[in-house]
Structure 1
Amino acid sequence: MQANPTLEQNTIAVLPFVNMSASEENEYFSDGITEEIINALAKLKDLKVTSRTSAFYFKGKNIPISQIGNQLNVFYILEGSIRRSGNMIRITAQLIEAKEDYHFWSETWDREWENIFDIQDEISLNIADKLREQLGHFEIQDHLVSTQTKNLDAYDLSLKGRYYFNKWNPTDASKAIDLYTKALALDEQHTESMIGLADCYSFMAIAGFSPLKATWAKAIDLIHHAAQLNDKIPGVHYQLAHLYFFTQCNFGKSLFSLNQALELNPNYVEAHQFMSFFYLISGNHSASLNHLKIALTLNPLSQETLFFMAYHHYMLEDYEKSIEILDRCIQENPINLPAHMIKWQCLIAQGRCGEVLTKIDAYDKNLIVEGDVLGLKGLANAIDNNLAETKTFIDQLIEYSEKEDGYRASSYLVMIYANIGEADQAFHWLDISINNQYSLILFHFSDPLLRPLRNDIRYKDYHKKLYTTSSFKRKKAEKKPIVSKSLLASYSKKLLTHMTANKPYLDPGLSLRSLAQQINIHPNQLSYLLNESMEKNFNEFVNQYRLQAFKAAALDPQNQHLNLMALAYDSGFNSKTVFNTYFKRHTGMTPKQYIQQMS
C-alpha cells in the first residue's frame, strides 16, 4: 500500500521551526511550539495536516522544499523560526506552495513570553485563513489555541517533558515523568501535563519497563482527573481509549473514546492507527483499511504506521507481504520487538516453526517478556505437531500465569489448546482471560493462528461478547448550513454592493477576515457565501476585481507613464508572480501581449 499519489490541495506539513535562540537548550521550545501549531491546525476537519513524526523527519536536513512536499505528499508547507531571548519571543513563519517552492505569505511576530498562547492562536488562525483564501470554504473556529495554564513555568516544563517523551525510550520517558511531575507541582490542574504524564506511565506499563498494576493505577488517576477538568482535549479521549482497552478489556468503550478523540481532532494519526487496529480485530476489514489509509496520508514516513500496515496484511493472512513490510521496519530498527513478534507469527502460520524457535533463542532476552517467549514457543510446537514439547510449554505457561504479568499466558494457552484440538480447554482459558479483563485476548481471539477454534459453535458468541459496540454508539447531529438560503441572497447583494461602491480590493492587504468585518458578517459565513454563490475561493473572487481594475488603468492614456507592475500594485495585487499567473490563466496571454492587442 502506497500513500495516495494524487496530490490534494488541502494538505499541509508544518516543518520543525528552527531554533534561532542563543542557547541550544531552547530546542525543546522550538519543537514544542511547532507541535502546538500542528495540533491547532489539525482541529480543522477539512484540512489534512501531516503528523509530527513525519514532519520532524526532516529536522536539520538540507532538503529542497519541493522534494519534502513530494515525500510527504502535501501541497503546502509551513516553515519558520523561533528566537527566545529573556522575556521576548520572535516567531517568523512562511507558507510555501511546495511543488514550485513559491513563498506566498510570511509574517513575523514579536511578543512577550506571557502572551505565548495568544501568539500560538494568532499564528494558527493566520495560517488557516491564508489556506482558506487559497482553497475555498471550510469552517475555522474563533480560537484554535486556548490558554492551558496561568503558570508559564509549568507550561515550559510540560514542553520539556513532551520533548523527552517523544524520544520513545525508557530513559527519556523517566526524564519526562520527572518534568511533568514538576509541572503539576506548579499547577495541579494543568490538564496537558496530566495527559503527558499518563502517557508516560501507560508507555512504561505496556512496554514492561515498570510494575504493571502500580504504574497503570497512576495513569488511571491522572486520566480520570484530566477528563473531569477538560474533556475537550483529544488526548484525554485517546488515553481513555487506552485505559478501557488495556485495563478493562472493554472494546466498545475504547472504540467510543477513539471516536470522540477523532471528532475533536480529525488528524489524530495515532487514533486513526488505533481505530484501524480495532476494526481489524473485530473483523471489519474495509473500515480498518479506511483508517489505515488516512494514517498513511498523515504519517507516511512513520515506522509505527508501517508496522500497522504489516499487521493489516498479517490479519488478512497475506503473510509474505506482511513479512516484506516487517523486514523494512526491522532494517530501520533491528530491536523493533513488535515487528519481530508479528514476523514470528507469520512464520508460524506458514509452518516455518523450527525457524521461529531458532530466532527467538537468538533474540535479546532483556527485550522480550518471558511470557511471550513461552507462548510463542508453545504455539510453534503446537503448529508443528510436537505434542510432548507443547505439553511442556503448556505446564510452564500455567505456572507463569500465577505471576504479576501472567496475564500474557492466558491468551497463548487459548491458541495452543485450539491448535492441538482441545477446544474445551481453549474456551476455559478464554473465560479466564475475559473474567480477569486481560486485554491481550482482544488481540489473539481474532488472530489467524486461532483459526481452528472458529469452526466451534461457541466462537461466534464469544466474538460478539468481546467486540460489542452497540451500547456505545452515538448519533451524529444533523449539521445545519452556516448561512440559510434566505440570508444567502441578502448577504450576496450586500457583498457585491460593497465591492463595487467601496473597492476594498484595492487594498493589497485585504483578507477574507477583514472583508467579513467590513460587511459585518462572520468570516465562516463569508467563506460559505463565496463558495456557494460565487463558486470561487477568496483569492479568485477578489483578484477578478483587481484584474478588471488593472485592465481599465492600463488602457487609460493618462497612465502611459506608469509601468505594468506599478498599475498592478495600484489595482491591489501584492505580488508580481500572483499577478502574472492570474492574468495569464484568465486571459490566455501575458499583460504585455494583452495591452498590445487592445491597442
Structure 2
Amino acid sequence: MSDFQTSKSTFLKKVVAIIEDNLADEHFGVTELADSISMSRSNLLRKVKQETGESVSVLIRNVRLHNAKQLLKDDTLTVSEISYQVGFSSTSYFTKCFRELYGYTPGEAGSRAKLEQEQEAAEEAQPTSQDKRNMTWPLIISSLAIVAVMLFFYFDKQKPVQNNLSKSIAVLPFKNDSADSTNIYFMNGLMEAILDNFQKIEDIKVTSRTTVEKYRGIAKTIPELSKELNVSYFIEGSGQKIGNEILLTIQLIEAPSDKHLWSKRYKREINDVFELQSEVAKSIAGEINAIITPAERERIEKIPTNNLVAYDHYLKGKALLDDETGEGLREGLAEFKKAIQEDGQFAQAYAYIAISYYYLDLYQTEQKYTEDLKSYADKAMELDSALGESLIARSLYYMQTRDFNKAIDSFEEVLEYYPNVAWVHNFLSNIYGLILPDTEKYLTHALQGIRVAVAGQDSATASYTYLHLSNALAQSGFINEAETYIKKSLEYNPDNLYSQYLYVYIKMARDFDLVRTKKELLEVLAQDTTRVDIIQEVAKVCYTMKDYKEAWQYYDRFIKLKEALQLDIYQSEDIKIGYVLEQLGRKEEAKRYYNSYLKYAENDQSMYRDLSLSAYYATMGDTDKAMDHLKAFSEQDNYQYWIVLFLDKDPIIPQMTDHPDYQKVMKKIKDKFWAKHKEIRVMLEKKDVIQPLKGDL
C-alpha cells in the first residue's frame, strides 16, 4: 500500500489500489475504474467527490503523479521512462501536471530527494546541543548556496524562451468567399467545429462563439478587439466550398501587437473535412505552445460520421438551431432526422434530435415529446456514451421527467468530461436553487459557473451566472454581497430582466418597503408586458400588501397568459390566487385553486412540502394540522432567506398566531437559518473566488 492511501477510507484505499494495479495503462480511466469496482459511473463520481472533493479523473491523475514522485527518487530512470510507467504517453503533459501538483518539475525531483535524504542523515547523526548551535547555520548556508547554484544552472539551461502572453484565443467569424450565399452554413459549421476542438484543450482559454459572433460585420482593429475581449490571439478564417473541394485560409494573429504569426492555405477534398478541422486546431495549439493531452487529442481526432451527406444535414440543423428567434427549432429537427436517415450510427445527430425535443416541450402544459426524447437520447448514449452531446441529451431527459437526482448525476458526468461549460453549472444552479434547494451547492455551482463564463467572455452567459451567484448569496442572507454581483450581472447585460427584478428584491430586503418594490417591479414589467414571471411577482407584492383587488388584476393577467401559452409553471401561486379570490367573496372559484394547490403540495419533492401543506391547512382553518406541518418544516435545513423574510408577513401563515407553539416554531426557523448562514460564511471566506465577506443583514 502506498503513502497515498494513508488515513483514507476503506473505499478510497480500494479505489487507489485498483488505479495502482493499472498504473501503466494510459487508457485506464473513469469508465474502466467504475467497471473494476463494480459501481455505476455516476455513483463512483458522486462517492469520490464526497470523499475527496475532487473528480475521479483528478484522483486517477494524482495517484499516477504520486507514484511518479516515488519513482523519480531512482536516478537510473529517465523522466520519459517514468512518465510511461505511470500511464502518461506524453512527457510534456506529464511535466505540466507534475509541476501543477508539486510546484516543481520532474527534473528537479531527484535533487530534492537527495537534499531530503541528506537532511534526514544529518538529523540521525544527532550532534550535541552545543554542536548544533555551532554547526547548524554554516550547514544551512552552505546547503542553500549549493542548491541555489544548482537551480541557477538548471533553470538557465532548461527554461524555454517564450512570451508572456496567456493561451487565450478568439475565433473570429469565418468569411464566405463564395458568391453562393447558401454556403454560409458550411463555413459557419467549419468555424464552429474548429472552435469546439479548441474548447476540448484544457490548456487553452477560448472565447465563446456567441460573444465573437456579435463582431461579425463590425469594423474594429485587432488591438481594439483584444482590449474588449481580453485575449492574446485571434484566428481569422476565410474560404469557400466549390463542388467537392474546400479552400480555406487560416491566420493566427498576436492580438496586442496585431502581428501575423502564422498563416496557411488549405485545399482539401470534402472527404478530408474532419482531418482539416483537427489539423487546424493542433497546428495553432502548437504555435502558441499549448499542451494537448492524449485524451484531448483523441477527442479532437474523432470522426463523427463517414457520411458527408449526413454531416451536411447536421450542419444545416446546427445553423437553424442557432437562430435566436427559436423559429428554426422544428426545421433544424427535420435536418437532424435527414442526417440519421443517411447515417444510422451518427451519435451527434441523435443527440441533437433529443435536445431539440426537450426545448420544444420546455414549459409546456402538455409535454408531447417525452418518449421521443428518451428514444433518441438512449440511442445517442448507445452509440457513443463518451460524447458530450449524448450526455447532455440524457441529462435533459431526466430534467423532462423531473427525475432531478438522476439529472444531477448526469450533469455532474458532463462536467467530468467538459469542466469548463458554464451553462451546465447554470442547470445545476437551477436545480439546487429552485427544485431541490441546497444553498451551499447552489453557491458552489454559481461560483464555478462564474469562472468559466467570465473566462469565455460570453456576456449573456456571464450575466446569468452572476445572476445565479447574486441570488444564491441573497438566499443565504448575504444581501450586501448579492447587490455587488447583481450589479455585475447588469453590467454584462443591462437588458436582463431577471437581474433587474432580483435587484428590486435585494433592495427590498433591507427595509421591506413594498410600495417602492411594487413601483420598481412595474417599471421592469413595462419593458415587456408579456412576461408571466414579472406579472406574478407584481401580483405577489400586492397580495402581501393585502391589496387583494389589485392583486387579482395581475393574477388574472397571469392566468390568462399561462393558458394562452400553455405553460405549466408557478403552481405554488395557486394558494395565493385562491386566498385573493376568497377575500373578494368569490369562494367557489377559490376552492378550485385551493384543490389544485393541495395536489401540488402533496407531490412536492422539495424541503418545502411541509411548509406548503402548512399554508394550505391554515387557509382551511385547521390550525393544529397547519402547525404540525410548520413544526415538521422547522426540522429542515438550507432553506432560503426569502422564506425567513416573508414568512410572518404573508397573509396566510400568521393565521396561526394564536396557537401556543407559533412563536417558538417561528423563532426556531429563523435561528436555524442564521446558524446555517454562519456556516456558509466560513465556506465562502475560504473560497479564493471572492473576497472575505464584509457583513450581512
TM range, normalised to the smaller chain?
0.5 to 0.7
Equivalent residue number for residue 195 of structure 1: 351
Q: Quote how far apart the aligned CAs of 1:84 are.
A: 0.9
Distance 1:226 1:275 in 2: 22
**Other-structure match for 2:376:** 222
Specify the alignment match of 1:253 in structure 2.
Answer: 406
Q: Deviations over 1:427-454 (max 9, x none)?
A: 985443329x99xx9xxx9655333459
- Residue type of the alignment partner of 1:433: D
Match of 1:239 among 393, 397, 404: 393
User: For 1:107 and 1:360, how far apart are their aligned partners in 2?
Assistant: 51
1:105 Cα offset (Å): 1.8
AA partner of residue 57 (structure 1):
K
* Cα 1:203–1:161 shift into 2, 3 Å: same
The match for 1:267 is 420
Deviation at 1:35, TM superposition (A): 0.9
Aligned residue runs from structure 1 range 38-437, under 5 A: 38-132=195-289, 140-142=296-298, 144-206=300-362, 208=364, 212-250=366-404, 252-275=405-428, 277=430, 282-284=438-440, 287-317=444-474, 318=479, 324=487, 332=495, 338=498, 342=502, 351=514, 352-355=516-519, 358=522, 362=526, 367-369=530-532, 372=533, 375-386=536-547, 407-413=568-574, 429-434=600-605
Distance in 1 between residues matched to 2:374 and 2:507, nearest whole Å: 37
For residues 439 and 575 of structure 2, the distance between their equivalents in structure 1, rounded to whole angstroms, comes to 19
Contact 1:379 1:416 in 2 (8 A): no
Q: Name the SS for the 1:108 alignment partner.
A: strand
Quote how far apart the aligned CAs of 1:241 are.
2.9
How many Å separate the matches in 1 of 2:451 and 2:236?
23
Alpha-carbon contact 1:410-1:433 (below 8 Å) kept: no
SS of residue matched to 2:300 = coil
Cα deviation for residue 459 of structure 1 reads 11
Give the CA deviation at 1:172. 2.1
Shift of 1:28: 1.0
- Is the CA contact 2:391–2:413 (under 8 Å) kept in the aligned structure 1? yes
Q: For the Cα contact (< 8 Å) 1:54–1:300, is it kept in 2?
A: yes
| Letter aligned with residue 410 of structure 1 | Q
Aligned pair partner of 1:450 in 630, 633, 643: 643
8 Å CA contact 1:353, 1:383 repeated in 2: no
Alpha-carbon distance, 1:458 to partner:
8.5
- Indicate if the aligned counterparts of 2:169 and 2:231 stay in contact, CA closer than 8 A: yes
Query: Relative to structure 2, which stretch is displaced further, 121-130 or 336-345?
Result: 336-345
> Unpaired runs of 5+ in structure 1?
1-6, 463-599
**Relative to structure 2, which stretch is displaced further, 114-123 or 240-249?**
240-249
Residues 60-111 of structure 1 deviation map (CA, whole Å, 9 limit, x = unaligned):
2221112222222212222211221000001221222211122222222211
Superposed CA deviations along residues 275-319 of structure 1, whole A, max 9, x for unmatched, are 455566521265235323323334324223213313422342347
Give the residue type in structure 2 aligned to 1:261.
V
Q: Which has the higher contact order (CA 8 A, sep 6+)?
A: 1
TM-score (norm 1): 0.62
Computed over aligned residues only, the root mean square deviation of the Cα atoms, in angstroms, reads 4.4
- 1:453-502 deviation digits (Å, cap 9, x = unpaired): 5976789999xxxxxxxxxxxxxxxxxxxxxxxxxxxxxxxxxxxxxxxx
- Counterpart AA for 2:416: E
Q: Is the 8 A contact 1:414 1:430 kept in 2?
A: no
1:213 is paired with a residue whose SS is: coil
Give the SS at the match of 2:288: helix
The 3-state SS of whatever aligns with 1:267 is: coil
Cα distance change on mapping 1:458 and 1:78 into 2, 3 Å: same
In structure 2, what residue type is equivalent to 1:15?
A: L
**Could you tell me whether the CA contact under 8 Å between 2:285 and 2:291 is conserved in 1?**
no
Amino acid at match of 1:230: D
Return the TM-score normalized by structure 2. Answer: 0.54
Gaps of 5+ in 2: 1-163, 581-593, 613-637, 649-664, 674-697
Q: Which residue of 1 aligns with 2:7?
A: none
Identity value in percent:
23
How much has 1:363 moved relative to structure 2?
6.5
